[in-house]
A and B are shown apart, each in its own frame.
Chain A
Amino acid sequence: MLSVITAISAWAIPVVLVFIPLYAAAKKVPVYESFVDGAKDGFDTAVRIIPHLVGMMVAISVFRASGAMEWLIGLFRPFLENWGVPGEVLPLAVLRPITGAGSLAFTADLIKQFGPDSMIGRMASTIQGSTDTTLYVLTVYFGAVGIRKTRYALKVGLLSDLVGFISAVAVCLLAFS
């Protein structure tokens, strides 16, 4: 299990990176021109994130520096540590379904504080990567077609976020400890 996960991590990107341009070239796609065309969006996307990230980082930074975060995590820590879960990642479970930019800021903050290669850093990365902003998706998708009664969609979305969170924590504990 561990060696499979490590191997997938190491090989996934190189394989994709060789496969895509070769496949495209075989299909007579002008690969470099396509690349440049798509890459243009990258800068805009990063710049568009700045206001979200600055806003959330400021709020999280104040919350943490004041000791409020420590107090909040302290409330849950004894319960979580029975399961080997670092209390620091808990706020992610609450933030992730509500705000993509906010949870991304929180993840970046954890990585900065504890280092990307710490258990907390790896766990936060995996949680952020494997769950989604359910409330945003729900609002945008249903909003676009005028659905007001969302029936069980929110319940299913939030429950699968919870499963995603628990799985991410469990898989990281298995793979990295």
Chain B
Amino acid sequence: MVNVIWLLFIVIGIVFAAAKGDISLATNAVFEGAKTGVTVSFGLISILVFWLGMMKIAEDAGLLAVIGKMLSPFIRLLFPGVPANHPALGYILSNMSANILGLGNAATPMGIKAMQELQKLNPQKDTASPDMCTLLAINTASITLIPTTLIAIRLNFHSANPTEIVGTTLAATFLSTTAAILLDRWYRRVHGAPQTPKG
């Protein structure tokens, strides 16, 4: 999908430039785009270094675990197919906490571990269980407290107030996460095959 879009952008762009009779538009755009790509990446270094350092402190202090405990009753409600004290719950909690703190890099391995644990409970190994679908829904819409990368980019382009989007981001993710949970409940009911093997 990404491959197709990337190719389409370039091919259609070249065709449009050629049709305009000014192919140098495309050539210049290539160098301009490449330069911006590098500039933006380097602009990210300062804030990523700083923020990942802060997050490591949070992790070492056990803050992830604390947030996990606070979310625990909520998690039990969301994943009815997982028995109490199953290791899957711990990984789901860490995954969600990492997402909330904007730790995208830490969230992915924990999410994969959570999936592996859910797979152990899954009666049909090639088909996603309802709890797996819930985990995915929460991940794709997850609440973001601090959109680090965006703040860095805004800083990079000299925003007068780089963090002014924190509140709007929080409000928008709250709505999309609520929607994801409701949609997940709805489809669980409509499509829901039994979570555990019958009999």
Contact = CB atoms under 8 A, between A and B. Distances in A.
Interface in A29-59: 29, 31, 34-43, 45-47, 49-50, 53-59
Interface stretch (A73-81, A82-90, A127-135): A127-135
B166 A8 contact: yes
Contacts of B38: 50, 53-54
B56 A37 contact: yes
Contacts of A97: 140
A67 B140 CA distance: 33
A116 B63 CA distance: 32
Given A62-B33, A156-B183, A168-B168, A12 B157 contact: no
Nearest to B184: A156
A109 B36 contact: yes
Q: Provide the main secondary structure of the chain B interface.
A: helix
Please classify how large the interface on chain B is, using the bins under 10, 10 to 19, 20 to 34, 35 or more: 35 or more
Interface in A3-20: 4-10, 12-13, 16-17, 20
Interface residues of A, number: 107
Interface stretch (B42-50, B68-76, B78-86): B42-50
B5 A115 contact: no
Interface string B1-19: 1100110011011111100
Contact of A38 (B13, B54, B159): B54
Contacts of B25: 65-66
A9 B165 contact: yes
B194 interface: no
12 contacts: A9-B165, A16-B145, A29-B61, A38-B52, A62-B26, A62-B29, A129-B147, A130-B173, A147-B119, A148-B127, A160-B140, A160-B179
Interface of B: 1-2, 5-6, 9-10, 12-17, 20, 25-26, 28-30, 32-34, 36-38, 40-42, 44-45, 47-63, 105, 108, 111-112, 115-116, 118-119, 124-128, 132-133, 135-137, 139-142, 144-147, 149-151, 153-154, 157-173, 175-177, 179-180, 183-184, 187, 190-191
